[in-house]
């Protein structure tokens, strides 16, 4: 079977956006069989991960990222480029740009409280592409 490629677009605001894309990914998966989905977000200031997508857990993740890569810290990237988003590059690198999710009969094999999220850390609004590829079994 051939690999199929899909694209999702996600509008974000400035700062740290964590957006649940599980429903969109599940719609793509529903027409597919067994295998895996590979998700990838192009760009060096965005990432993909999973989390229980509820207010408390999302707030905790944002706070943890602020402790690890604070916005108000000096970054060499900012000195070189002057764009003020050095923190965004570090946060994205910590989480990573890709994620794989197994599929069975067109259903995402996620945990009961596990959702797929795109994280945009840039300091300006963006429209993010998320590339989704079906890797058949």
Segments making up each domain of the chain, as ranges? 17-127
> Would you call 13 helix, strand, or coil by DSSP?
coil
> Stretch 1-29: mean pLDDT, rounded?
95
Q: Which residues, 6 or more positions from 38, have their beta carbon under 8 angstroms from its beta carbon?
A: 98, 99, 100, 132, 133, 135
Output the pTM of the full model.
0.94
pLDDT value at residue 15 = 82
CATH number of 17-127: 2.60.120.460
- When pLDDT is cut at 50, 70 and 90, the band that residue 111 belongs to is very high
What digits encode the pLDDT tens for the residues 57-91?
999 999 999 999 999 999 999 888 888 789 999 99
Nearest to 27 by CA among 17, 35, 41, 37: 37
54 secondary structure, DSSP code: S
Q: Kindly state the percentage of the chain with pLDDT values over 90.
A: 90
């Amino acid at each position: 079977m051939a690999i199929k490629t899909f694209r999702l677009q996600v509008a974000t605001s400035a700062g740290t956006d964590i957006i649940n894309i599980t429903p969109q990914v599940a719609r793509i998966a529903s027409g597919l069989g067994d295998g895996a989905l590979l998700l990838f977000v192009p760009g060096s200031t965005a990432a993909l991960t999973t989390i229980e997508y509820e207010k408390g857990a999302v707030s905790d993740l944002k706070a943890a990222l602020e402790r690890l890569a604070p916005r108000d810290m000096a970054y060499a990237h900012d000195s070189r480029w002057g764009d003020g988003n050095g923190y965004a590059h570090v946060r994205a690198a910590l989480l990573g740009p890709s994620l794989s999710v197994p599929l069975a009969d067109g259903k995402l094999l996620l945990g009961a409280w596990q959702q797929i999220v795109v994280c945009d850390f840039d300091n300006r609004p963006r429209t993010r592409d998320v590339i989704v590829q079906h890797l058949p079994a």
